[in-house]
Amino acid sequence: MKHIFLNLKRFDVPVEMGGVNRLAPVADWGQAIVEGTQDGLAAYDPSEVEFAAYLPEAHLLSAAAARKPGCPLQLGCQGVYRADTAVGGNFGAFTTNRPASAAKALGCESVLIGHCEERNDKMGILAEAGVTGTEASRAVNRLLNQEIRCAVARGMTVLYCIGEKSEEQDAWQQVLGEQLSLGLEGVDKSKVVIAYEPVWSIGPGKTPADKPYITKIARFVKEQTGGMDVVYGGGLKSDNAAMLASIPEIDGGLIALTRFSGEIGFYPEEYLEIIRLYLGK
């Protein structure tokens, strides 16, 4: 099974406000994402490849309403809270947070957890409290584990992101090993796919991770997890699709922006082209 994931981050923000949204007015943006992709994705065999898109919460209802019967695009959110509602227990006292029950009620089938941007946010909060370094990293992994458990308990699948920063490269085995062991502790691994983000190589002016490095990491993850599926989370795009497809240990990819120059942003027709290049059809 191949997995193609789409992280739409905050690509809904209009250009005039500093964002990259040229696709549709904000109120119609979730709908435009689904309408622009579902017919193209229907050409693929669902027994061979699955598709999921992680949207900001505000757009989930319009996206769900736009799905046709049998739509192959699963909807997901970009995180859940580390605690959840329960019959006879907490009924929703989670101001500003998104419990897994709320995500499920909105139509989410999947959730993105542990993206480097989420990890950085949690590390920043801990740093304000004076907790840094290895102690903070382990605490973040334990918090992410709680989130994964909540999502899986609600019947959602999880894309769990791991990755090392430039200052962690010499200790990559320890860093990634702890992200896996602590993050997946007590979790039904059949409900989780791993996304590897080489944080050290992502961003303008940085050298992208090459095929040997990605292969090495994917093999390590499979060895550590008993063969869990691994996708490339550093950005599946048109210029690396063929290379990633040639790595047997890589089971798919995470797409974000589709255009990185000119009018940068996410464009449905370019998203479908990236998928065609990766799957070869």
Structural element, H or E, at residue 2: strand 2-7
Do the Cβ atoms of 53 and 73 come closer than 8 Å? Answer: yes
Given the residues 50, 118, 164, 197, select the one marked as catalytic: 197
Given the residues 3, 115, 118, 164, select the one marked as catalytic: 115
Owner of token pair 């959602």: 156
Which of 232, 259, 233 is CA-nearest to residue 246? 232
Q: How many helices (H) and strands (E) does the chain have?
A: 10, 8
The residues, any chain, with a CB within 8 Å of residue 16's CB and separated by 6 or more, are none
Q: Which class for 222: exposed (0-12), middle (13-18), buried (19 or more C-beta within 10 A)?
A: middle
Known catalytic residue at 249: no
Give the alpha-carbon dihedral of 127, 101, 184, 216, to 10 degrees: -80
Known catalytic residue at 167: no
DSSP string, 69-109: TT--EEEEES---SS---TTS--S--TT---HHHHHHTT-S
Q: Which class for 269: exposed (0-12), middle (13-18), buried (19 or more C-beta within 10 A)?
A: exposed
Question: Would you name the residues annotated as active-site residues?
Answer: 115, 197
